[in-house]
Amino acid sequence: MSVLEVKHVSKRFGSLAAVRDVSLAVEQGELRAVIGPNGAGKTTFFNLISGFFPPTMGTIEFGGRDITALPAHRRVAAGIARTFQITEIFPELTVFENVRISAEVTAGFRLRPWISRSEKARVRSEVEEILGLTGLRARSGRLVGELPHGDQRVAEIAMALALRPRLLLLDEPTAGMGDQETGEITQLIHRLHRGSNFTIVLIEHDMRVVFHLADRVTVLDQGSLLAEGTPREIAANEAVQAAYLGSAT
């Protein structure tokens, strides 16, 4: 059974069809990349999966359960976490505090007026584990707003991981980065996928990252599915080469 099944989903905004009859199935432990030019419908597609937009047509299933009408916060509780094109963090708080907030929400402490000593210790242990996994332990006491852009991105991913996701959605995780930061984020995603077996769907514009990381690639064109396959199949697809990868690929 697929972890995520998107079946013939469309999304219209008035006369504009942002997503048109797109289907997608993601297996447990898979890393799926979604590519396409600006305006292809990639982020709208992510918003449909994560519950920010309801589809105009079609259904979305997660773990065999129909979540088409489920609001975003309940999809998070069900195990879907995401990052955004524009980094969503609390810049005035430390790295540790940012991740702790997510961990406390996951543990059900969000509306609690107090937390016991044992509960605090459990949350701290979980946060420390995630900081170690993401390589942020040495920066845990730094204000996130003072960190370089790449480290802020890693902090956002760490916050998503603290939600204990069964499916991690990454929206252009290397956007705005230089080669070194891109390489570091790519290595982190590789560790999460290959080392920790996270199921990941990512939108990415850097084809080097896509071909290095992805098990399979989905290509969108003007809101529709243009192609789907392994990185090698996508690289050899003439329509994809002409539209997205250039003649040198």
Q: Does 131 map to a domain?
A: yes
27-36, 106-115, 161-170: segment of lowest average pLDDT: 106-115
User: Is the predicted pLDDT of residue 73 greater than 60, yes or no?
Assistant: yes
**What average pLDDT does range 158-181 have in this prediction?**
95
Q: What is the pTM of this model?
A: 0.91
User: Is the predicted pLDDT of residue 13 greater than 90, yes or no?
Assistant: yes
Q: Does 136 map to a domain?
A: yes
**Per-residue pLDDT band at 247 (split at 50, 70, 90):** very low
Residues of the domain holding 123 = 89-162
Q: Does 203 map to a domain?
A: no
pLDDT averaged over every residue in the chain: 92
Q: Does 154 map to a domain?
A: yes
What's residue 119's pLDDT? 82
Please answer whether residues 7 and 49 qualify as being in contact, where contact means their C-beta atoms are separated by less than 8 angstroms.
no
Q: Does 66 map to a domain?
A: no
d(CA 90, CA 93): 6
User: Is the predicted pLDDT of residue 5 greater than 80, yes or no?
Assistant: yes
**Per-residue pLDDT band at 113 (split at 50, 70, 90):** low
Which token pair is 76? 């998070």
pLDDT tens for 16-60 read: 999 999 999 999 999 999 999 888 899 999 999 999 999 999 999
Please answer whether residues 152 and 125 qualify as being in contact, where contact means their C-beta atoms are separated by less than 8 angstroms.
no
d(CA 189, CA 214): 10
Q: How many domains does the chain have?
A: 1
What's residue 107's pLDDT? 82
Q: Does 202 map to a domain?
A: no
Q: Does 175 map to a domain?
A: no
Q: Does 64 map to a domain?
A: no
**Per-residue pLDDT band at 105 (split at 50, 70, 90):** confident
Of the candidates 90, 96, 94, which has an alpha carbon nearest to the alpha carbon of residue 129?
Answer: 96
Please answer whether residues 80 and 62 qualify as being in contact, where contact means their C-beta atoms are separated by less than 8 angstroms.
yes
